[in-house]
Structure 1
Amino acid sequence: MKFIYKLQTIALIGFLLIVNACKDFVDINEDPNNPTTPVLDLLLPATQVSMAGSLRDVNQGTSILTQHLYIANTSRNFQDGTTYQQSWNGLYTQALNDLEIIIREGTTQLRWDYVAIAKLQKAYIYSIMVDMWGDIPYTDASQGNTIENPAFESGAEIYDKLFALIDEALADADKGAFAVLGDVIYKGSKDSWVRMGNSLKLKLFNQVRLADPGKAKAGIDALLASGAPLISTNAQDFSFRFGSTETPANRHPWHRTEYLPTKNYYMSQHFIERLFNADDPRLRYYFYRQTSNYTVGFTPTGNGYFGRYTGDPTASPNDNSVKATVGVYPAGGLYDNSEINNLPSTYIFIPKNEGVKNFKIVGNTDGTGAGVFPLITNAMVKFILAEAALTLGTAGDAKQLFLDGIREQLNSVITVSATSGNSAPPIPVPTLNDFVTARAAEFDAATDPAAQLNLVMTQKYIALYGNGMEAYTDYRRTGLPVLPAPLSPLNAFPLRLAYSVTELSTNTNVSDRAGELQTAQQTTPVFWDK
């Protein structure tokens, strides 16, 4: 596959992104993309680091589209061939290319444990790419860099191949010993990787339920009836944890850009108000206020919750020192424990913290940056099962699964915040229990399954803060939760992300219709979007 820039060495990627748990493998003096003798326990962690790094721009853009964050043009539905080019190119030339090396060499060496993990990571990455872009190169791209002009395949066809690939990986995991070294995500736990594979299958089956409800129901029913283990505790989450060092820079990307005098984002005012108005205790974990009160025309809430509404086209003043920024979850920033002066007296879940005033202008020494990129989590699995039970009639108590999803994500926020090295108090157990009980009352009061599904998808949306990709997929599939229209959109809401301009201009299979394909990305649904 042809690209403008040269593939960066895995050693450099390690020094830029690697987490603390990986200190024992960053001293690599050879390029694993051109190894004379591939060393699987060096290649594997490099693929995990490059996966997280390459998904950065996609995660940023989809977080903006789904109103978790704000950047002007993206929030107005603008994209072009450079917006996600780095993610597209990086996934193909780095993570996926190295995974193919592991699969090939691991098969030769009969190291089925490495092969199983590589196939599961490959299935995950390609599933995300289909969800983001629709039709993409798959079979030809799986040949590594040997085919310069890979053919594009339909997303539906690729999904079928991914189901088979996951089954292959799970079978490979049972071949011989499982003694993996260098695994950043699961530290070589076979049980966790098997649960990840089954949970990925569950997610993909659920995502096709509108396009093929029979297939979705049969797949989920078979998975549950078989007793296949799913991610069922937060410790089994398929997540990428960042480190806390500035040099080498391995902190969460949101911390790296926002805990500086200059900042890339505004917080989404719509999202802030959703949590504020719902008396949601995650408000203090998700956002950090640098000032006690800042009110301008587009920020009616005051209290320092200074963000921007989606699609606001007005120019940005010199306001980096007063706007709200990312908090302790998921970015590893600061926990906001200062008072909120107009918090309604009826609120019981957001702590009032009266008299506490610890506002400050944040810098790179504030917070640790040891945040998390939640990819497939226990909470997500619970919400998926609740959705499937409501819409497909699959096994499980939809209400209990809904409540379990809320509880487990709240616990994850507490755990990630506490283990990031920052000072963040846990949500008191009675408060957490009462918050879940209040959501149970809302579920009971819902008049029909559609209203209950709205509650499930709304709580899942709030829980997905930090993973805009899944929020973007859910919103296109279900239209839930209802998001306010952009104030001044430049385009219709994009149903797919823009292709890499480099791919369209150099791949002879598509270069003669590059403009047509790129234009169609804005308005063409992904195959599961019915």
Structure 2
Amino acid sequence: MRKILLAGLIVGIGIVLTGCKKELERINKNPNEPVTAQPDYLLSNGIKANVDTYWGENAAMETSLLYIQYWAKIQYPDPDRYIPASSAIQSIWSNFYAQGVQDFTTLAQLGDSLHHPNYKAVGNIMRSWIFQVLTDLYGDIPYTQAANIDQYLTPVYDPQQVVYTGILTALKGASKDITLTGNPILGDSLLRSNMLRWKKFANGLRLRVALRIADRDFATAKAVFEEVAAEGNVLLESGDEDVKLNYLTSPNQNPVGRNRETRNDYRISKAVVDKLKSLNDPRLSIYAALPRDTNVIIGVTNGLTADSASRLGFYRTSDIGAAFTASQSPAYLFTYAEQLFILAEAAQRNLISGNAAALYENAVRAAFKQYGITGPAVDAYLTQPAVVYDAAAYKRVIGEQKWLALFGEGLEAFAEWRRLDYPQLKPAYTGVLSGAVKIPVRLSYPSSEQALNGANYKAAVSRQGPDLLTTKLWFDIY
């Protein structure tokens, strides 16, 4: 009898507590707070947050821009010597997954549930772009089980090949989902709700990823180029069709401009200055600023010690040009010039039919036009022996010109340099890496993954190779 009474008492207490909990939840609900996220707010916030990460301090200024030798450090040089801060590595991973993959997955799901194909398509395009950046940086990453924490608290790492092919499938589907008439979207600060431009962006990313995997999986890469052609080659055209975020004044300023409000420890790299000077490249005065105390553009050698760097002086070396450091400087995600370089290489490698030399020349012209340079100066530039297209050395000519064209886009330039192996950069002067590879070719995984997702982290490392900056990724075959 006592047991029955005790059991009844426990059940009764449970019911009371459950009722109290429900009552508290009802009382604490904010009547002005929407239960379901609004797609336009998700989109506008997602674009700004993730482009900030892409062009920001950790993913660009403290890592990829230094590795690719666009920028150098004149103060606090450890990152320029290949000693990245663990907080920087963690921030890139956390921001892209939490603010990027999660938000754009939610946007795509909302588009599906609201029967709004364009929100679904845009969510999947931006999600795919972020996954491309993540796998380019780290290699094997959580993909198929990502952004589903209710079901997969510790997601598996998918091999890089699986990630790239998954991205290609998602982008193809997104391109087909887009409706050009009706279903307008709001909150689009990137392409101003122009769905034709979103389709072109999706297709451009498909070609980018296809070329990324061409050394490993030529058949799949060729199939992608053929699919895009069969769908009408809906790609960027000349004119102002670059995919870029036009920043505003504070608090919506360019992250490089925000950085310059409180810091002055970056300079343009000597490597890119020397290359621009050797080619009499008119972009030199755009990419670099004149030092205050001299009338000569001077780049800084990557990887100097703190003493050596500081002795150069803040006012005798060149900062990055205002086109990149001003508060309202745009952040590029994909350009018409890059697309033409992709098509030039694709023609050279028989991924498409076309005149590789003509496409390459048009790519160089588009890269100059991006900064307002046209006419005789570009004509003369293209006649130089080091610039003229050479089919037998296409990796060199395309690699070097693409490197110059992507200036500022550290993450994409870092991936293309690893794939093409041009330009041939010298390691940082006092770089700490040893072995055959002395410039980083990836980022290491954040320490949080080892602590919170240890089994899947270990499986990825076992498959991919040591979790080091020098471990080459699947796509980086040469």
CA-atom RMSD in angstroms:
2.6
Query: Residue by residue, what CA displacement relative to the aligned partner does 1:64-95 show, whole Å, maximum 9, x if unpaired?
Result: 10100013223323336433211110111112
Query: Paired residue for 2:302?
Result: 310
Query: Paired residue for 1:252?
Result: 254
Query: Paired residue for 2:419?
Result: 477
> Which whole-Å CA distance do the structure 1 matches of 2:157 and 2:228 have between them?
30
Amino acid at match of 2:246: R
Counterpart contact for 1:166–1:197, Cα < 8 Å: yes
Query: Residue by residue, what CA displacement relative to the aligned partner does 1:420-472 show, whole Å, maximum 9, x if unpaired?
Result: xxxxxxx463323433x425x6555x6x5242331111111001011011111
- Aligned pairs for 1:75-224 within 5 A: 75-79=80-84, 81-143=86-148, 147-174=152-179, 177-224=182-229
Sequence identity (%)? 23
Change (3 A) 1:257 1:304: farther
Amino acid at match of 1:385: L
Query: Paired residue for 1:288?
Result: 289
Unaligned runs of 5+ in 1: 1-29, 294-302, 333-368, 415-426
Query: Residue by residue, what CA displacement relative to the aligned partner does 1:11-30 show, whole Å, maximum 9, x if unpaired?
Result: xxxxxxxxxxxxxxxxxxx9
Amino acid at match of 1:468: G
Change (3 A) 1:35 1:94: farther
Query: Residue by residue, what CA displacement relative to the aligned partner does 1:147-204 show, whole Å, maximum 9, x if unpaired?
Result: 3311111111111111111122122213972301110111110110000011111111
Q: Secondary structure at the match of 1:288?
A: coil
Amino acid at match of 1:273: D
Q: Secondary structure at the match of 1:374?
A: strand
Give the TM-score of the pair, scaled to structure 1: 0.76
Change (3 A) 1:65 1:35: farther
> Which whole-Å CA distance do the structure 1 matches of 2:99 and 2:420 have between them?
33
Amino acid at match of 1:431: A
- Aligned pairs for 1:237-248 within 5 A: 237-245=242-250, 248=251
Query: Paired residue for 1:66?
Result: 68
| Residue in structure 1 matching 2:380, options 431, 434, 441 | 434
Query: Paired residue for 1:297?
Result: none
Query: Paired residue for 1:329?
Result: 323
- Residue 467 (structure 1) aligned with residue 447 (structure 2): no
Change (3 A) 1:389 1:528: same
Query: Residue by residue, what CA displacement relative to the aligned partner does 1:222-272 show, whole Å, maximum 9, x if unpaired?
Result: 323442211123422122222133xx2x22222222355x41312201111
Counterpart contact for 1:178–1:188, Cα < 8 Å: no
Give the deviation of 1:408 after TM superposition.
1.1
In the alignment of these two chains, the number of paired residues is 434
> Which whole-Å CA distance do the structure 2 matches of 1:308 and 1:398 have between them?
35
Amino acid at match of 2:127: K
- Of the two, which has the highest radius of gyration? 2
- Aligned pairs for 1:5-20 within 5 A: none
Query: Residue by residue, what CA displacement relative to the aligned partner does 1:389-437 show, whole Å, maximum 9, x if unpaired?
Result: 22335222111111111111211122xxxxxxxxxxxx463323433x4
> Which whole-Å CA distance do the structure 2 matches of 1:322 and 1:252 have between them?
25
> Which whole-Å CA distance do the structure 1 matches of 2:459 and 2:204 have between them?
37
Query: Residue by residue, what CA displacement relative to the aligned partner does 1:83-127 show, whole Å, maximum 9, x if unpaired?
Result: 321111011111221112211222111011111101000111101
Query: Paired residue for 2:265?
Result: 264
Give the deviation of 1:304 after TM superposition.
3.9
Which shows bigger deviation, 517-526 or 195-204? 517-526
> Which whole-Å CA distance do the structure 2 matches of 1:42 and 1:288 have between them?
38
Give the deviation of 1:129 after TM superposition.
0.7
Give the deviation of 1:497 after TM superposition.
0.8
Unaligned runs of 5+ in 2: 1-29
> Which whole-Å CA distance do the structure 1 matches of 2:255 and 2:316 have between them?
21
Query: Paired residue for 1:8?
Result: none
